[in-house]
Each structure stands twice: as structure tokens, then as C-alpha cells.
Structure 1
Amino acid sequence: MTVNRTPQVVTIAGSDSGGGAGLQADLKTFQARHVFGMSIVVALTAQNTYGVQASLPIPAGFIDAQFQSLAADFDIRAAKTGMLADREHVEAVVRNLQQVDFGPLIVDPVMVAKGGATLLASEAVVTIKEQLLPLADVVTPNLPEAEILVGKKIVTNADMVQAARTIQTLGVKHVIIKGGHRQNHKAEDLILLADGTCYWLSAPRIATANTHGTGDTFSACIAAELAKGQPLKAAIMTAKAFLQGAISQGISVGHGHGPTNHWAKLSEKVSLRQG
């Protein structure tokens, strides 16, 4: 009998009842990229395209149980984190990650929802910086998250490079600062690899409000590609193309910040340049 041959990935994150972000977006991305997805639920949210109406963290002991259950059976080849709620839950995730081998770890440092709701208690930022990032292979903050991590505003390309280098000193190998919050005509992300090489990853900016869950989707796709054995740079390129397609080939769901289209085709309008 063939056992554990299929690439397997886990998301360690919060649940979005509206289905556009959180572990639901991660699982949709995993399925679209042909890997088997699992989830460790850290928090529940009552959420729709208008925003987050309520949240409920999962007891830390139950997070332990989920880790133990998956580790006992599956051959997980990559993991990603999303919403981790507060310091207690970040510490629970860190403690468990130190005890299992789930392959490369992608940290999406989710802090604020599209609608403005806080998804990470302020005191947990230090815990992420001091305990979680040293375990990570890749971290994928957007600009506001990167500003929180470095404690200063990021305006120019040079600011992004300096911020990425500062974040890298926290122990994470590779840093991707997503530039979607800038007002440039292109959505341009900065990639800083472990060897110090910088790349700029670009795609045309799309005028749409349907961008709920883009960060989750991007980081989940990187995890999926790494689980299949793709080199990191190729995995990041695929993730950008997947996300660009998910935004440009939009769907109409809800009345607020709608979700992206996880069954879209990869976009070819993605470019990479060293710089």
C-alpha cells in the first residue's frame, strides 16, 4: 500500500466563517495547487466581507491536541501560519513547532483584517519577533505589518530593503515585503533571500475591492509549492502568478471587501528583476 506519497501541507491559523481568508483561503489554495491540505485551528471568527464581528481563540491545550494528531499520522512537508490571536496562542504554536517536523515554515504575520479589525494583540508582536520568526524559513508581511515589525514608516524602495534586512536579523531566513498597500501602478513586492540577494516581483495593479484574503492566499501558495519540491524562488513566482490570477479573474461575493477567485488560472503578467 502506498502511504504518504501525496504532498501534504498544514495551515496554522484562524477560521474565517465568510470563507475568503484564514484557513479557508489556505485550504482552497492548497487544493488548487494539487497538495493535500490540513488545518490547525487557532481561533474562530464570525466574519464576512464587511469585517470581523467576533472572534474566539481556541484553548491552547486543544492546539496541542491538533498538532499531536497530525504529527502522529501525516507526512507534512510544509506549514504556514496565519492569524495567531495573542501571546498565549503564539507561544502555544511555537512550543509545538519546536516538537514536530512539518518542513519549511512560512509565517504570514496577520495583524489586521481588511475591514480594520485587530487580529493580533499588540503584546504578541514581540512574541512573534522573538520566538516565531527564528523558526521561520519565510515571512511575508504586508507594508503595515512590516512597519510594525521594524517600528518605523516604510515609504520608498530603499525603506523596503532596509526594513527587510532588519526583519532578517530577527532570525528568519527569507523576507518578502508585499507592496500592495503602496499606490504605484504596479503591485511590487520585495524579496530578500538568505544570501542577501534582493529581487523585485511585479504585476499590474488591479482596481478592485475584492482582495480579501490575498495575504493568506499568497503565503499558502508558497507553502504548497515548497511541499512539492519547488525551489523557493520558483515557489514565490508561482504564488505571485496564482494571486494575480485570483484577483484579475474576479468573482462577485458579498457586499464589502470580496474574496479572490481560487479557481482562476495563473497570470502571465508577473515579472522578476534583481535589484
Structure 2
Amino acid sequence: MQPEPECRVLSIQSHVVRGFVGNKSAAFPLQVLGFEVDLINSVQFSNHTGYDHWKGQTMTAEELQTLYEGLQLNDVTRYDYVLTVCDPVMGDKRNGDGYMYVPENLLPAYKEKVVPLADIITPNQYEAEILAGRKMNTEKEAIEVMDILHAMGPDTVVITSSDLPSALGDNYLVTLGSQRKVIAGGSRVTERIRMEIPKVDAVFVGTGDLFAAMLLAWTHQHPNNLKIACEKTVSALQHIVTRTISNAKALAGPGKKPSAAQLELRVVQSKRQIENPEIIIHATTI
């Protein structure tokens, strides 16, 4: 009897006891989609830091290395993928202004050491701009930014959210993707896609981690079709956030703003949408 085939992911991210962020957000969808997932928790908190209170510990570099050495000693470090959500926690925009979550003196390490090792990166607009060293206010400028990021090493770049103008109006975010690939005959081509995503009136935590995990899964299933991989990823995520906000409003009651606890992503309840997402957000080729 031949051993069963498996695809194994090492996911190095934060962990929370309650809720869905980091490894808690990434592991379930990957497992639902058939991946074996090994977890290294870089941080262990009671809950994410959007709550009023949190407690927990941060692993040191030496502690993380010790865990990996234990795997090495047992010769179990052969992985198909390593998932670590570095770029989505670099920074974001608050009230229209850029805001770094990490010290700015770490930016060269991301640009020179982390990004060149990655096959896929999923920055938001602000992160893409600071990595590329230039702004993107138009689709043309966004393509130029993605090309700069390609030149750093990654073959797939997906800007998960941007405030570029949408033909559908102000209530839409724009997602952009670019994938370099080799076609028959050995020539290289670049596939570029654009998606218009309805805004949801809530702030969620863990969506970036969830996005990265599902994009990994669907690019594995569709390695040469970024359009389909992004449509499945974004559609599943839209199902989840729509379900989450509806449930949160029901829990909060009429006229009340949902709490951080009520806005925890409804990941487990969305198992069917993760496994077989109905395509509700379509991508266009640019």
C-alpha cells in the first residue's frame, strides 16, 4: 500500500486563546482544505489586542529556534509551504495616514531579507507603498509598485486592499494581484487582476491572516491561475465577514455597536463556504 499523499504547511504566527487571529485564523481553513498544518506560535495572548485587556507572552528568537531544533532532531522539517504573515503586520492607514506597527528601523530587514525569500506576499496598500518606496494613486502606479515588489523576489503579489478609485463607487475597496509565471516554450508572462470588494461597516481582526492562508491553499490548487485563486479566496472571505457582521449586530442588539468579542470572525460556522466558496466577487484581467 502506498502512503497517502499530503501537503504540509509550517505556519509561524501569533496565537490567541479566544478568537481568530494569526495561527487560530489560518489553521482551520487550511485543514478544511486538506492541508496538514504544523504551528509555531510566535506570540501567545489571551485574545487579540483590539480588546480592552489582554495578557500573554511573546516568544524570543532563541525560544523559537529551540522549537525548530526539536523538529530537526526528529527529521520532520520537510514542508511544502511555510506561512508567516510578516507584511500584513508592518502597518496600515488610520484616518488616511500611514501608521507603522513595527519600528521603522526594521523596514530594511523586511525589504532585504524577508521579502526576497517569499514566493507570495499579501501587503495592504500602505505596506506595498513603503516596501516599494513609492505611492500608488492610480491603477498604473499600482502596477508599477507590484513590479518593484516582483523585482525583490516574490512571483505573486496581491495587494489585499487599497483605496484606489472604484468604478462602482466609494463603497468598494480595490484588490490587485500580479503573478509572474513561465508558459510553454519557457517565456515569462505576468497575469494581473483587479477585484472590487464591497466595504463592510465594521473593523475585523484576523482577516489578513485568513486571506493569506486561503490564498496559499487556492494558489496550490490553481498554481497558474491567479484569477481563480483570488476569486475563491476573496469570495470566501466576503462570505465570512458578511456572516460575522450580521451575527455581531444580532448579538449587540438594535442601535448598539458590536464589541470586539462579538466581531470575532465566524470561521468555523463558515466551513462550507471555505471548502467550496460560491464566487460572489469576480476578478477582471488588467
Regarding TM over 0.5, the answer is yes
Map 1:93-132 to 2 at 5 A: 108-112=87-91, 119-132=101-114
The aligned residue for residue 135 of structure 2 is: 153
Q: Which amino acid aligns with 1:62?
A: E
Secondary structure class of the residue paired with 1:50: coil
Tell me how large the CA RMSD over aligned residues is.
Answer: 3.2
Gaps of 5+ in 2: 181-187, 252-257
Change (3 A) 1:54 1:147: farther
Identical residues among aligned pairs (%): 20
Q: In structure 1, how many angstroms separate the alpha carbons of the residues matched to 2:131 and 2:259? A: 32
Q: Which amino acid aligns with 1:231?
A: P
| Structure 1 position 64, deviation (Å) | 1.9
Change (3 A) 1:52 1:191: farther
The aligned residue for residue 31 of structure 1 is: 31
Gaps of 5+ in 1: 84-107
The aligned residue for residue 64 of structure 1 is: 65
| Structure 1 position 4, deviation (Å) | 6.4
Q: How many corresponding residue pairs?
A: 250
| Structure 1 position 226, deviation (Å) | 4.3
Map 1:1-275 to 2 at 5 A: 3=3, 5-45=5-45, 47-50=48-51, 56-70=57-71, 72-73=75-76, 75-83=78-86, 108-112=87-91, 119-181=101-163, 184-194=170-180, 195=188, 197-227=190-220, 229-232=221-224, 233=226, 234-250=228-244, 251-252=247-248, 255-256=259-260, 258-263=263-268, 264=270, 265=273, 266-275=277-286
TM-score, scaled to structure 2 = 0.74
Q: In structure 2, how many angstroms separate the alpha carbons of the residues matched to 1:193 and 1:55? A: 38
Q: In structure 1, how many angstroms separate the alpha carbons of the residues matched to 2:49 and 2:71? A: 29
Change (3 A) 1:160 1:137: same
Larger Rg, first or second structure (1 or 2): 2
Change (3 A) 1:150 1:166: same
CA contact (8 A) 1:204 1:269 kept: no
Q: Which amino acid aligns with 2:143?
A: V
Change (3 A) 1:187 1:153: same
